[in-house]
């Protein structure tokens, strides 16, 4: 069914993330280069080494930071590099390292920080790592998972599902190009990343919308 705007939007409660602390980030600009060069270089790379967390968060921040914010009908509308239905931007970006302790971070680029989330089910992170190892045995980069708030779109649109998946795809493409601009290599995986939401107890609130692995060239 086709989406259509609601005449009277519903109220949506703010997301309650299970925060366990803040990591302040210092964003770096991308290296000099033309957009045509970035387009020509971008390709899915299945063999990567681990990149620096600063480079990764700088790229995510560059791709998702709000350039303009306004309040409309009890919701913030954002202008960001990636397009979104109604400027609502319901998709959030989670980061998890490929090894070591089970950690999940939420990117909060508007405040130049990462939010460390409480992992209550570390076995779910381990399950996702095993899945990735089977799919991409030569990739050693960070996991990047898209997690979306379908209820937010549903408050403003009837039948919002196609808008949700369109937003997720647009953000995935924007991130892939931005990673390339930062000289990082990425590969989209054919999974949603549901395990990461399970790990932090957000599986009943958000919808997993895709996963990729991001690292440096080997």
Is the entire prediction scored with pTM above 0.85? Answer: yes
Give the span between the Cα atoms of 134 and 136, in whole angstroms: 6
Reply yes or no on whether the pLDDT at 11 is more than 90. no
Beta bridge partners of 26: none
pLDDT tens-digit profile of 25-72? Answer: 878 999 999 999 999 999 999 999 999 999 999 999 999 999 988 876
Reply yes or no on whether the pLDDT at 75 is more than 80. no
pLDDT tens-digit profile of 204-217? Answer: 999 999 999 999 99
pLDDT at residue number 25: 84
Would you report the helix, strand and coil content of the chain in percent, each value rounded to 5?
A: 35, 30, 40
CATH fourth-level superfamily of 34-217: NADH Oxidase (3.40.109.10)
pLDDT at residue number 190: 93
Q: Which two tokens stand for residue 154?
A: 């549903």
Burial of 13: CB neighbours in 10 Å, binned 0-12, 13-18, 19+: exposed
Q: Report, as an integer, the average pLDDT of 182-196.
A: 97
pLDDT at residue number 151: 95
Reply yes or no on whether the pLDDT at 12 is more than 90. no
Reply yes or no on whether the pLDDT at 73 is more than 70. no
Reply yes or no on whether the pLDDT at 74 is more than 80. no
The span from the first CA to the last CA of the chain, in angstroms, equals 45
pLDDT at residue number 76: 82
Strands (E), 1-141: 4-5, 19-24, 48-49, 68-72, 75-79, 91-96, 104-108, 113-117
pLDDT tens-digit profile of 102-154? Answer: 999 999 999 999 999 999 999 999 999 999 999 999 999 999 999 999 999 99
124 Cβ neighbours under 8 A, 6+ residues apart: 195, 196, 198, 199
Question: Hunting for tokens 């270089």 — which residue is that?
Answer: 41
């Amino acid at each position: 069914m086709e989406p259509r705007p609601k005449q009277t939007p519903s109220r949506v409660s703010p997301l309650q993330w299970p925060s366990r602390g803040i990591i302040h980030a210092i964003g770096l600009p991308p290296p000099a280069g033309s957009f045509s060069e970035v387009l020509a270089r971008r390709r899915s790379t299945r063999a990567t080494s681990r990149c620096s967390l600063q480079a990764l968060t700088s790229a995510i921040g560059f791709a998702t930071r709000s350039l303009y914010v306004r309040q409309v009908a009890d919701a913030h509308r954002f202008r960001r590099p990636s397009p979104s239905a109604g400027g609502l931007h319901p998709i959030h970006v989670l980061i998890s390292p490929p090894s070591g302790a089970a950690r999940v971070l939420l990117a909060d680029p508007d405040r130049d920080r990462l939010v460390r989330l409480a992992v209550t089910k570390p076995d779910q992170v381990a399950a996702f790592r095993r899945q990735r190892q089977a799919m991409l045995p030569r990739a050693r980069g960070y996991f990047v998972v898209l997690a979306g708030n379908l209820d937010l779109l549903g408050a403003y649109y009837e039948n919002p599902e196609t808008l949700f998946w369109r937003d997720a795809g647009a953000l995935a493409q924007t991130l892939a190009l931005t990673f390339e601009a930062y000289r990082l290599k990425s590969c989209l995986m054919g999974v949603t990343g549901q395990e990461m939401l399970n790990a932090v107890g957000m599986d009943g609130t958000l919808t997993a919308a895709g996963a990729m692995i991001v690292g440096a060239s080997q």
